[in-house]
Structure 1
Amino acid sequence: MRPILAVLLLAAGPAAAHPGHLAGLAGHDHWVAGAAIGLAIALGLWGALRGERKADPEDEAEGEEQQA
C-alpha cells in the first residue's frame, strides 16, 4: 500500500498550475470564477485575522463563575 501511495503523491506534482493560466482568463467569461476565488481567499484571510469571537455571553459568565 505504501509504494502505491508514494507513486500517487509523486505523480500529482507535475499537475500543479502556474500563474500563466490566469492570463487566459482575461478574454473569456471565466474571469468571474477568478474573481470568486479571489473573494473567497480574501474573506478567509479576513476571518482568520479577525479571530474567533464568543457567540453567547451566558457561556462567558458561566466560565467566569467556574474559575472563581
Structure 2
Amino acid sequence: MRGFLTILLICTGSSAMAHPGHWADVAGHDHWIAGAAIGLAGLAAIWGALKGKKEKEAAAEAEEELEEETA
C-alpha cells in the first residue's frame, strides 16, 4: 500500500503543464506569437461553425420546399 501511494503521489505531482505562451518561449518567440496563433485558431473555429450553420439552414429550406411540392 505504501509503494502504491508513493507512485501515485509522484505521478500526481508531475502532471503540471505550462500555458501555451510558454511553448512559444521554448521556440525562441515571445508570448504574442502564441496568442496570435490561438486567436487565429479561434477565428477558424467560429468561421467553420457559421459555415456549418448556413449549410444546415439551406438544407432545411430545401427539405421544406420538397415537402410543399409533394403535398
Common fold by TM > 0.5: no
TM-score range, shorter chain: 0.3 to 0.5
Q: Which has the larger radius of gyration?
A: 2
Kindly indicate whether structure 1 or structure 2 has the higher relative contact order, using CA contacts under 8 Å at least 6 residues apart: 2
Please give the TM-score of this superposition, normalised by the length of structure 2: 0.34
* Structure (1/2) with the larger helix percentage: 2
